[in-house]
Structure 1
Amino acid sequence: MLVSFALSSVAVFLAELGDKSQLLAMTFATRYRAWQVLVGISVATLFVHAISVALGFGIGNALPTQWVALGAGVAFLGFAVWTLRGDELDESRHDTASRRGVRAALLAVTTAFVLAEFGDKTMLATVTLATRHDWFGTWLGSTVGMVVADGLAVGVGLLLARHLSSRTVRYGAAALFAVFGGWMIVSSLPPIG
């Protein structure tokens, strides 16, 4: 189990470097509190990598990645619109909205990461590792590797948020969501010709 844990931690950490999920973590860190982003990433990663390990352990590479990518792309376009709209609060609704805001932040981050990771290289790496190694060590290791890599991106996002205006952050985040959404939709389409 320890070998599976170490191997999958390192493999997924390296696969995650420079991935769209890191950019997504950075973007969310400019919008929400770091703990909210890290909890959302952790929940999504535990879920997606549990499915990955089950696939690797059980049935192998049987994901309908084109439909998943199309759905994720549409969701990301929705996140872009939501980011542009903003979260304006008046003082009388601040307490209720901040409780709802925590739930909304966790839901948004978790949902975005689940959608982003289905069919992603880290999911496929976890499926592959699970076909040859201990399932529990692979699940925990791949989750730790991904959360650590995305945690680094959260740190970078926090630095950006401190040095950029909220308007720049909002428009930049919306643009990134729109680009990711468009890229996912285009990549899900069948080749022409």
Structure 2
Amino acid sequence: MEAFLVSTGIVALAEIGDKTQLLALFLAARWRRPWPIIAGIFVATLVNHGLAGAVGAWLTQVLGPDALRWILGISFIAMAAWMLVPDKLEEAQAGKWRLGVFGTTVLAFFLAEMGDKTQIATVALVARFHDYLAVVAGTTLGMMIANAPAVMLGDRMAHRLPVRLVHAVAALIFACLGVATLLGLFGP
């Protein structure tokens, strides 16, 4: 349960103001059809984080415990620093494909998540908790918690959230996980 809750919370916080949340706002404003957009976000996230989780599980098999502890600790601290860098939506990631609302959302979100904070966090969290299903379910839920309201409420919500504060809290959580991992307070 800890893997699920930590994964959900970290990703939900990390997504506030992230480029994929900006993408959700863009798609909602463009099409004004929230349910196909939300369904597309869910499918893209599940596939993307499922693959990222598989990489995390594989890493636990390939690396020894000491190497994994250092890699994870440093990765969590790097994620903390990355959380403090604002994201921007690039027009190319906004999607200009003719796949309809659902198809465009799936493709745009899948591509936007490649190498994104939450994808890398999913790799690290699976490696840390050794619980593929709980982490992927948690990171997927965290994405939905952050992005579904963005789609439903649109631009009005984005301007009311204290994005810097939310990112600072997420960065603090990542930093604490990194330091605790490096100190060996819990195993990778």
Q: Does residue 25 of structure 2 align to residue 29 of structure 1?
A: no
In 2 relative to 1, CA 123–27 (structure 1 residues): closer, same or farther, beyond 3 Å?
same
Residue in 1 aligned with 2:9? 10
Aligned to 1:152: 149
81, 92, 107: which is aligned to 1:111? 107
CA drift at 1:52: 0.9
Counterpart of 2:124 in structure 1: which amino acid? T
2:120 pairs with one of 99, 102, 124: 124
What's the CA shift for 1:131? Answer: 0.3
Q: 1:102-142 deviations in whole A, cap 9, x for unaligned?
A: x6111100000000001000101111100011111001000
Match of 1:20 in 2: 19
Tell me if structure 2 keeps the 8 A contact 1:28–1:157.
no
Which consecutive residues of structure 2, in runs of 5 or more, have no partner in the other structure? 61-70, 72-89, 158-188
Counterpart of 1:76, as a letter, is Q
* 1:76, distance to aligned residue in structure 2 (A): 2.9
Normalised TM-score (structure 2):
0.62
CA distance in 2, matches of 1:77, 1:142: 22
Count the aligned residue pairs.
Answer: 128
The whole-number CA distance in structure 1 between the counterparts of 2:41 and 2:91 is 20
Post-superposition Cα deviations, 1:158-177, rounded to whole Å, max 9, x if no partner, equal 769xxxxxxxxxxxxxxxxx
CA distance in 1, matches of 2:16, 2:100: 27
More helix by share: 1
State TM-score, norm by structure 1. Answer: 0.60
- Worse overlay, 150-159 or 140-149: 150-159
Quote the Cα distance in structure 2 between the aligned partners of 1:18 and 1:119. Answer: 16
Residues in 1 aligned to 2:12 and 2:59: alpha-carbon distance in whole angstroms: 24
2:6 match: secondary structure = helix
After superposition, give the CA deviation of every residue in 1:143-162 in whole Å (9 maximum; x if it has no partner).
000011001211232769xx
Gaps of 5+ in 1: 62-72, 83-100, 161-193
Distance 1:147 1:50 in 2: 15
Counterpart residue identity of residue 122, structure 1 = T
| 2:148 partner amino acid | G
- Identity of counterpart residues, as a percentage? 41
Greater C-alpha Rg: 1
- 1:140 to 2:132 alignment: no
Instruction: State the distance in 1 between where 2:38 and 2:59 align.
Output: 30
